[in-house]
């Protein structure tokens, strides 16, 4: 097995493992929305919309499908992986625009017992900056993986082309 094939298998496995973690996490919030409001324990904030949790869950399901496709490394698997990854990438790009514009309107001041104070850097990171940066990074990674899949599909296409021999 060539190093190139091993690289794609590793990418597929990493996508499947990462997606499995997030599917379990969002699935938990999907099932227990009344209790969690879509937020992890010990996290302050307004509850997330149920539709946002459903879309996040579907996003990670697409990632699992893409990871399985990449893991197979054949033409059909890579095409399946490419469609799943690109669909999820476009979804992530649109979501990153919405979440970034929403978070830019957040204030960096907190009111505690009627006294307004500036948030600490760690609080700003947790409440304002972490989610948009995570989603933008994920979007970039998805498009880079899509580029790698397209590159591999071109290699497969070259390998499967057979030269024509004209015999007279």
Q: What percent of the chain has pLDDT over 70?
A: 92
- Structural domain that includes position 46: 3-160
Beta bridge partners of 118: 109
Q: What are the start-end ranges of the H helices in the chain?
A: 3-31, 33-36, 50-72, 75-104, 121-124, 130-160
More confident residue, 3 or 157: 157
Rounded Cα distance between 168 and 158, Å, is 26
Asked whether residue 93 is domain-assigned, the answer is: yes
Question: What integer pLDDT is reported at residue 20 of this predicted model?
Answer: 95
Please determine, for residue 43, whether its predicted confidence score (pLDDT) is greater than 70.
no
With respect to residue 168, please indicate whether it lies within any of the assigned structural domains: no
Query: Does pLDDT of 125 surpass 90?
Result: no
- CB neighbours of 118 closer than 8 A, spacing ≥ 6? 108, 109, 110
User: How sure is the predictor about 23, in pLDDT bands with cuts at 50, 70 and 90?
Assistant: very high
* Of 12-26, 60-74, 109-123, 124-138, minimum mean pLDDT range: 109-123
Does residue 81 sit within a domain? yes
Domain for residue 112, yes or no?
A: yes
Task: Supply the pLDDT for residue 42.
Answer: 65
CA-to-CA distance for 9 and 25, rounded, in angstroms? 24
At residue 60 the predicted structure's pLDDT band, cuts being 50, 70 and 90, is very high
Q: What is the pLDDT of residue 139?
A: 93
| Range name among 32-46, 68-82, 94-108 with the lowest pLDDT average | 32-46
The pLDDT assigned to 82 comes to: 94
Provide the domain count of the chain. Answer: 1
> What pLDDT is attached to residue 156?
86
Whether 14 maps to a domain, the answer reads yes
- Inside any domain, residue 148: yes
Would 166 be classed as within a structural domain? no
Q: Look up the pTM and report it.
A: 0.78
Is 11 within the bounds of a domain?
A: yes
Q: What is the DSSP letter of 128?
A: I
């Amino acid at each position: 097995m060539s190093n190139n094939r091993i690289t794609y298998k590793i990418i597929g496995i990493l996508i499947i493992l990462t997606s499995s973690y997030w599917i379990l996490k969002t699935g938990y919030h999907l099932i227990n929305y009344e209790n969690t409001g879509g937020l992890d324990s010990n996290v302050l904030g307004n509850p997330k919309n149920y539709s946002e949790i459903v879309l996040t869950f579907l996003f990670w399901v697409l990632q699992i499908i893409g990871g399985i496709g990449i893991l197979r490394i054949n033409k059909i698997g890579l095409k399946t992986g490419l469609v799943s990854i690109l669909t999820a990438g476009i979804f992530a790009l649109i979501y990153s625009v919405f979440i970034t514009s929403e978070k830019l309107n957040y204030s960096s001041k907190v009111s505690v017992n009627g006294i307004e104070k500036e948030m600490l850097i760690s609080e700003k990171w947790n409440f304002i900056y972490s989610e948009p940066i995570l989603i933008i990074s994920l979007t970039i990674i998805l498009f880079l993986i899509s580029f790698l899949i397209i590159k591999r599909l071109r290699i497969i296409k070259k390998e499967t082309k057979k030269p024509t021999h004209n015999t007279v």
